[in-house]
Amino acid sequence: MLGWKVYGKTVKELRKNQGLTAQELARRVKVNTSLILRIDEMKLKDVPDPLRTRITPVLKGEDTDKIPWL
């Protein structure tokens, strides 16, 4: 049920919760920084699907679970 709460928040709020700047998020998902800044004020559920599937694991913090030294 926790996952549904994430979709109602803005990308900027979720990004700040993870301690990421727009440039760092863009680098992690391999897109332009301008694209991240364009969707920053949108709620995650309103972000177009191809991009949403790429940024959701990063914004939830699931990508750090795969790092072997943590």
| All domains of the chain in start order, with CATH | 2-65 (1.10.260)
Q: What is the pTM of this model?
A: 0.83
Backbone angles phi, psi at 21, to 5 degrees: -85, 170
pLDDT (tens, 9 = 90+) of the chain, 70 residues, equals: 356 788 899 999 999 999 999 999 999 999 999 999 999 999 999 999 999 999 999 998 887 766 676 5
Cα–Cα dist 2/69, whole Å? 26
The total number of residues shown for the chain amounts to 70
